[in-house]
Homo-oligomer: A and B are copies of this chain.
Amino acid sequence: MSDPADLLEEAVPHEEQEQVTHKLIGEIVEAIDDRDAARVRELFEDLHPADAADAVEQLVYDQQVELAEIAPEVFGGEMLAELQEDTRADIVNELDPSHLAEAIQDLDSDDMTLVVEDLSPEMREQVLAEVPAADRTRLESSLSFEEDTAGRLMQREFVAAPTFWSVGNTIDHMRKAGEDLPDLFFEVFVVDEGFKPIGSVPVSKLMRFPRDTKLADIMETPHAIIRPDRDQEEVAYLFEKYHLISAPVVDDDGRLSGMLTIDDIVDVIQEENKEDMLALAGVNEASSADTVWSSVKARAPWLLVNLGTAVLASGVIALFEGAIAQLVALAVLMPIVASMGGNAGTQSLAVAVRAIASRDLTVSNAARVIWREFAAGALNGVIFAVVMGAVAGLWFQNVTLAWVIGLAMIINLACAGLAGILIPLGLKRAGADPAVASSVFVTTVTDVVGFFVFLGLGAMVLL
């Protein structure tokens, strides 16, 4: 063991400064350009796999591919597991199957699955052919579950003990098992004769009791027993809610077959949050390594939908061409009503999507929340009706115009509040993701209502 002072030296930089500096990236890029494999290896040598993954994510796709070509050793098993999903999905297919088979050898089965699941069918077959039989069986079993389910996330390494074991038996068993144990684990699962999980003992608790204590006397009821086909988002919710660190996964017969751990769940939480945020903004997916073309493809579909709704809103305006020609002030002011509605609708929508995701919006309070959103919209409508009425009245020296824009503002903001909550709830009830597409629908409502009410009232009253 090295000197403790040196260890601290090594450890402190993690806190005080980034490992992956702009300078380091520059040097890596230079080494890749020079196709200098030795230099590349040297630069990556001392990096933690998580830092190495970060560095690779800073490169553009072509550089990543070239890196894989000249120095495949950089893509070790742990580092591949640390990469973000989209980067990993791209790069694994550029690596040699034999290299991959060897790289994943020391990983726990959940991380192995992460690396293998994004391979093309042919590559996957080649890699599976080269890993040891035991790993292959585990991998094939993991891959038999749908993507984004507990079955894909779980690891097959865990510690199980029968109820009649004592603390001493359990510790002795673990000492003997040694390498067969998971890299890290936090609970011993207690199983009955049918290998069904009926309790768990946190490892830290195991330490606290005398060796002759029976597990049955100190075990806790599991807060969640998870089936492998469960959606990862729901699993993440259980982990968050009950502050779980690990949880047992059972097969169809209720037998313990795997373990989920919080470190994998944190990745799921981040992934789901990212998806929600991008979905609300109308982006299908995004990564910093995206090219111009992949960005265009991820965004054009929603822009097309938006164009459709914008044309619809224009159609509403066209109904009032005559009124606008007579009173151009209507054209000048109409975007204000629409813009305020769009903004208020987006506010309601973000609150609703967030509340649905965190299970705060339920049958029990839906009616109250719908009413609140409507009332908050209407009340803000009143506030901004007064402000905007005053502005419009002074600007165009026209009191009637002030009343028209004020009334339109109230109606549009009340509709915005309603649309912002009802549209995601409707999508949810229809089994769709409440974040996807909802902002387009909401702004369609606020544009159409805004233009129609303002121009309609204007045409009725002012001409």
Contacts and interface: CB of A to CB of B under 8 A. Distances in A.
A303 B343 contact: yes
Contacts of A185: 204
Interface string A326-339: 00100111111011
A428 interface: no
Interface in A209-227: 209-210, 216-217, 219, 221-227
A366 to B, nearest CB: 10
Interface stretch (A68-76, A92-100, A270-278): A270-278
A311 B390 CA distance: 12
A50 interface: yes
Q: Which of A221, A287, A339, A353 has the most CB of B within 10 A?
A: A339
A452 to B, nearest CB: 13
A350 B58 contact: no
Interface in A36-81: 48, 50, 54, 57-58, 60
Interface stretch (A120-128, A135-143, A372-380): A372-380
A165 to B, nearest CB: 13
B11 A373 contact: no
Given A175-B210, A181-B204, A276-B277, A307 B362 contact: no
29 contacts: A7-B221, A8-B198, A11-B221, A14-B224, A14-B225, A14-B242, A15-B225, A20-B362, A54-B241, A84-B360, A186-B203, A239-B266, A245-B262, A262-B262, A277-B353, A278-B350, A280-B281, A282-B343, A283-B347, A286-B350, A296-B380, A302-B347, A303-B347, A303-B380, A303-B383, A304-B384, A310-B339, A321-B331, A324-B331
